Structure 1
Amino acid sequence: MITSTLHVPVLLERCLELLRPAIENRRALVIDATLGLGGHTEAMLSEHPQLTVIGIDRDPAALKLASERLAVFGDRFKTHFGTYDEIDQVAAESSVDGILMDLGVSSMQLDQAERGFSYSQDSFLDMRMDQTQGATAADLLADLDEFELGRIFRVYGEERFAMPIARRIIAARKTSPITMSSQLNKIVAEVVPVVPGKQSGHPAKRVYQALRIAVNDELGILERAMPQAIDALRVGGRLVVMSYHSLEDGIVKEAMQKAATSSTPVEMPIELPGTAPIFKIITRGVERSGERELALNPRAASARLRAGEKVKGN
């Protein structure tokens, strides 16, 4: 299997540009916190001959494929099996020059029917990024009550019809377990009204997003990881994050703004010791993919990029 054909790195050139000032012409260390198939890491290692990258991923299949792809770089590439809220462990004894986060589900996971991430292929509703542990999406649909299912669909999927969908799932599972994507698609399609000219994608797409986030604790991990990433950087180090929906982007934005703002009370005439900003946001608002990027990689349409630089030690 040729991994480079499975995944086109999102906003690759922009990520390289943002990280470059922190890692060029030095024995630098970058943590690729969401390694996937290693496209971004391959580009960084190719451009910077003194660079070492530690790739974090909780998907054993992705780690295996990325390791095969990047074996040519020898000990300049290392892996860590786990989630990216373990950045503090990975960076415990290292000076980190750059951290890259490409959040969400990878192309490989979407395209492999047996993973259950996609509504476009009939498959078992797994959705675990690490298939060796944890509850599946099918487990959640079988075990959670109406209120909790509705909350997941409303909060994580921003689904307007969250409670009606949850009620229909509870009724349907009394007859037969909901284990396949075709079953879930049918239930959602029966609840969500079709508005001609205003329907964007499959009516179940928000439900799938919500279940995936819940199964993998994606938002909890991101909330824990962002402060860790900022703390781990050396002064002058850079953090680049790509998110794919508003919930992720909100967490990223809040963490960056908090680190970039003085914690001295506004009524104080001087800045108190230890309260100065430690981070500077270097992107102007959120950056989106341009026409050229979208032509090369349609999956970049929902990407939101933010970046910043560490300006002061903790």
Structure 2
Amino acid sequence: MMAGHGGVEDPAVGGPARHVPVLLDEVLAALAPQPGEMIVDGTFGAGGYTRAILDRGASVAAIDRDPSAVAAGRGLAESYNGRMTMVEGRFGELEAIVRDHGGAVDGVVLDIGVSSMQIDAAERGFSFQKDGPLDMRMGASGPTAADVVNRLKPGDLARVLGFLGEEKQAGRVARAIEARRAEKPFMRTLDLAGVIGRVVGRSPKDRIDPATRSFQGLRIFVNDELGELARALVAAERVLKPGGRLVVVTFHSLEDRIVKRFLRDRSSPPSGSRHLPDIAPATQTFEARNKALAASDAEAARNPRARSAKLRSGVRTSEAPRGEADALAFAALPSLADLPQTGD
């Protein structure tokens, strides 16, 4: 389980926090793990969900792209007599991973975002309150946040910060970054946070750091988090057995919107059209559960990072999977694969 996620709504993002599984009771109620079942924890993190599922008697295939989390998970697996498998990979690759480890499963749980352990480790480069290398990668490969900040065209950078970070002053921030990087490239988190802070400013009523939204946008872009989520939802539809449960915990509006649209699209009753007789109506591949669940006041008081958490869930029907989801389309963004080289 990856706790302590920081979205725009989370004033505590960037600060130190003890790892606390978010919405654990609600997750277990929706997931309903039983002895003999196989559950996929697509975002292992520090293992909060996995431990609880294993203690209910189910087996777990746990996935994480962070090598340090994987190492810790393999140690945990030794304590559960073969009922836990730890896999290094992305949860967007869930279908291939499940096929390699036995086929269809009874449940999938996803906890989307960055973990408190990653935020609290200055050397990972996620925090704008601790100085560290401007990295932000959840895994061990691919372009870093420094690569993005120093090489992305200003217009593309503004789109990343504006859409993924929901930063209202994205254009001004991007132009300030462009002007500064011409003199000296950005390499450290506090250097970037300082430039952003001077542009955005901070009103007495603002509960979050001026760099919060821009750092969020960069982190989501560097790790392709929305794309990973969309791929994972479609993969879950393919690997869940009839009656299998999908449970997703999100921490900001972009993630929640994708999950909401997916479940609404997949749980809508089939409907045809007399105007289009040759087009088969869409099938209902999930039964959506109740509306999004939020943390209780008591949990939010114990763990401030739970304040923005939302849980949505659905139960797989016996209908064949529908494949790619048009409902998951979102604004076109620059690609990490096309990141300009230095001097382009």
TM-score by length of 1: 0.91
1:55 partner SS: strand
Find the counterpart in structure 2 of residue 154 from structure 1. Answer: 162
1:242 partner SS: strand
Q: Please, which of 290, 305, 316 is the counterpart of residue 310 of structure 1?
A: 316
Answering whether residue 74 of structure 2 is matched by residue 67 of structure 1, we say yes
Find the counterpart in structure 2 of residue 101 from structure 1. Answer: 110
Letter aligned with residue 184 of structure 2: S
Find the counterpart in structure 1 of residue 26 from structure 2. Answer: 14
Where structure 2 has 5 or more consecutive residues not aligned to the other structure, the ranges are 1-16, 321-344
Answering whether residue 191 of structure 2 is matched by residue 183 of structure 1, we say yes
Find the counterpart in structure 2 of residue 259 from structure 1. Answer: 266
Q: Please, which of 306, 316, 323 is the counterpart of residue 300 of structure 1?
A: 306
Letter aligned with residue 240 of structure 2: L
Aligned residues of 2:53 and 2:59 also touching (Cα < 8 A): no
Q: Give 1:157 deviation, angstroms.
A: 0.4
Higher relative contact order by CA 8 Å / sep ≥ 6: 1 or 2?
2
Q: Please, which of 126, 133, 152 is the counterpart of residue 144 of structure 1?
A: 152
Q: Give 1:232 deviation, angstroms.
A: 1.2
Answering whether residue 243 of structure 2 is matched by residue 236 of structure 1, we say yes
Aligned residues of 1:29 and 1:96 also touching (Cα < 8 A): yes
1:53 partner SS: strand
Aligned residues of 1:42 and 1:70 also touching (Cα < 8 A): no
Aligned residues of 2:283 and 2:319 also touching (Cα < 8 A): no
**Structure 1 stretches of 4+ moved >4 Å:** 266-270
Q: How many residues align?
A: 301
Map 1:1-314 → 2, pairs under 5 A: 7-20=19-32, 23-24=33-34, 26-48=35-57, 51-92=58-99, 93-131=102-140, 133-197=141-205, 199-267=206-274, 275-283=282-290, 285-314=291-320
TM-score by length of 2: 0.83
Aligned residues of 2:93 and 2:232 also touching (Cα < 8 A): yes
Identity of aligned residues (%): 38
Instruction: Report which stretch shifted further, 237-246 or 91-100.
Output: 91-100
Provide the C-alpha distance between the structure 2 equivalents of 1:88 and 1:303, rounded to a whole number of angstroms: 26
1:305 partner SS: strand
Aligned residues of 2:31 and 2:245 also touching (Cα < 8 A): yes
Provide the C-alpha distance between the structure 2 equivalents of 1:11 and 1:268, rounded to a whole number of angstroms: 45
Q: Give 1:71 deviation, angstroms.
A: 2.3
Provide the C-alpha distance between the structure 2 equivalents of 1:244 and 1:125, rounded to a whole number of angstroms: 23
Aligned residues of 1:234 and 1:313 also touching (Cα < 8 A): no
Letter aligned with residue 172 of structure 2: P
Do the aligned partners of residues 90 and 193 (structure 1) sit closer, same or farther apart at CA in structure 2, a change above 3 Å counting?
Answer: same
Q: How far does the alpha carbon of each residue in 1:93-128 deviate from its partner, in whole angstroms, 9 at most, with x for none?
A: 422100000010011101111001011101111000
Q: Give 1:227 deviation, angstroms.
A: 1.2
Provide the C-alpha distance between the structure 2 equivalents of 1:268 and 1:52, rounded to a whole number of angstroms: 48
Provide the C-alpha distance between the structure 1 equivalents of 2:174 and 2:263, rounded to a whole number of angstroms: 35
Do the aligned partners of residues 56 and 274 (structure 1) sit closer, same or farther apart at CA in structure 2, a change above 3 Å counting?
Answer: farther
Aligned residues of 2:220 and 2:226 also touching (Cα < 8 A): yes
Letter aligned with residue 170 of structure 2: A
Aligned residues of 1:244 and 1:303 also touching (Cα < 8 A): yes
2:156 partner SS: helix
The alignment's C-alpha RMSD in Å is: 1.9
Instruction: Report which stretch shifted further, 220-229 or 254-263.
Output: 254-263
Letter aligned with residue 29 of structure 2: E
Aligned residues of 2:136 and 2:219 also touching (Cα < 8 A): yes
Aligned residues of 2:285 and 2:319 also touching (Cα < 8 A): yes
Q: How far does the alpha carbon of each residue in 1:257-295 deviate from its partner, in whole angstroms, 9 at most, with x for none?
A: 11112453354899x977431211112x21111112112
